[in-house]
Amino acid sequence: MTAPIRPQPGILDIALYQGGQSALPGHDAPLKLSSNENPFGPSPAALTAMASALGESHRYPSTDHAGLRAAIAEVHGLDPDRIVCGVGSDEIIHFLCQAYVGPGLEVMHTEHGFAMYRISALAAGATPVEVPERDRRVDVEAILARATDATRLVFIANPANPTATFLPMEDLTRLAHGLPATCILVLDGAYAEFVDGYDGGKALVEARENVVMMRTFSKAYGLGGLRVGYGYAPRAIVDVLNRIRGPFNLSGVALAGAEAAVRDLDWVAECLRVNATERARLTGGLRQLGLGCDESFANFVLVRFADEAEALAADAHLKQAGIIVRHPKNYGFPQALRITVGKPEDNSRVLGALADFKGAA
Ligand code: PMP
């Protein structure tokens, strides 16, 4: 007999998370543009730091992540005591749901929101609530109208995935002020670095008791495989999250790599510069092909086709050309493809293959 799952709703309602595809039969080295990774990889300084940390693998890592927290705080002007580190920002989402919701309570996210919000809510026995967007943008009024005393967490990815749209700070502030005091607003800044001048909402976290910001090393820093993210939160929330965090959740190699990466300002600045130029070129090129593409504030674009059949045909055409992108059907966009901004030559290949597709279509 298989062991019974703890008596709680939700777990068997969880659909398995589907990550971006990474292999393509018939192509030894496909061009992978399906997971919003940094096409330039990790900073060389991070690689050096990780290689030397590997030699210390017989030691348990730091339990309080003091070195990494100090580096993040110094570089971003944050208070190190308000930082809690996790195995990717995924783990911070999980900690928040474990600590703040359960049966009878709600976790709100937007219509096309990141899959982990729903998964972590259900894993905690809570009810995920999806709020409609307006023109692929977060609708603050709709969220405020739907929030009740049972709503304890609201997750807003800004910029959003998979739409790549962005909500200005004044809207986030209005949202934070309008939610019940018992509800935590979580600003998921997985793609915050890609917006010039946006710091992820740090001032809002510092001004209020109920706002948390999340950041990750997986995107701009090119360390998706290392699994490091963090939350920036009021101290009372950090205290709660640390109580449920495993003592050695981050490996010594991960801590060393992330610390070196955050200090390598020139590397990340150069990656962001290329991303901004290439994102504009990719968007312009896609529009010229007659495809729908909103302005992107991240390191990917959402390309809209006439319908699902055309999106699938374009996906198949790209695959034939050795290019893997994401068909965001499970995000509610069956008629679209999400394409990560790659190196200049990668983006030229994408535009060439889609021009070929549109020419043939
Ligand atoms: N939030 C958003 C909006 C994301 O797109 C992702 C990754 N796809 C994450 C959080 C989680 O990233 P990680 O766990 O790698 O930090």
Please choose, from the candidates 201, 204, 227, 193, the residue with its C-alpha nearest in 3D space to the C-alpha of residue 92: 227
The pLDDT value recorded for residue 361 is: 66
d(CA 193, CA 243): 29
Q: Which ligand 1 atom sits nearest the alpha carbon of residue 157?
A: 3
Q: What is the DSSP letter of 289?
A: T
Strands 300-304 and 184-188: unpaired
Q: Give the pTM.
A: 0.95
Is this complex's ipTM strictly greater than 0.90? yes
pLDDT of 5-20, one tens digit each? Answer: 666 667 888 888 877 7
Q: Whose CA is nearest to atom 1 of ligand 1?
A: 190
- For residue 8, how far is its CA from the centre of ligand 1 (angstroms)? 26
39 lines ligand 1 (CB under 6 A): no
Mutation test of ligand 1: which of 219, 221, 333 has the most ligand atoms closer than 8 Å to its C-beta? 219
| Whether the CB of 91 sits within 6 Å of ligand 1 | no
CB of 340 sitting under 6 A from ligand 1: no
List the structure tokens of 270.
């150069």
Predicted pLDDT of residue 175: 97
Break the chain into its structural domains and give their ranges: 21-41+266-360, 44-263
The CATH number for 21-41+266-360, chosen from 3.50.50.60, 3.40.50.170, 3.90.1150.10, 3.30.160.270, is 3.90.1150.10
Residue with tokens 């777990």: 11
Q: What percentage of the chain has pLDDT greater than the value 90?
A: 90
Write down the pLDDT at residue 13.
85
* Model pLDDT, residue 277: 98
Mean pLDDT, all residues of the chain = 95
User: Which residue is listed with tokens 């990750």?
Assistant: 216
Lowest pLDDT segment from 13-27, 84-98, 284-298: 13-27
- Find out whether the beta carbon of 229 lies less than 6 Å from any atom of ligand 1: yes
CB of 106 within 6 A of ligand 1: the answer is: no
Is the pLDDT score of 157 beyond 80? Answer: yes
Q: For 118, how many CA atoms within 13 A lie in the half-sphere containing its CB? A: 18
Tell me what pLDDT residue 278 has. 98
pLDDT tens by residue, 261-271: 999 999 999 99
Contact (Cβ atoms closer than 8 angstroms) between residue 266 and residue 123: no
Cα 89 from chain centroid (whole Å): 7
Please write the tens of the pLDDT for every residue from 119-152: 999 999 999 999 999 999 999 999 999 999 999 9
In terms of DSSP bridges, do strands 184-188 and 83-86 run parallel, antiparallel, or are they unpaired?
unpaired
pLDDT tens per residue, range 93-120: 999 999 999 999 999 999 999 999 999 9
Topology of domain 44-263, CATH: Aspartate Aminotransferase; domain 2 (3.40.640)
What is the C-alpha to C-alpha distance for residues 93 and 121, in angstroms, rounded to an integer?
9
| pLDDT value, residue 327 | 95
Contact yes or no for 125/10 (Cβ under 8 A) = yes
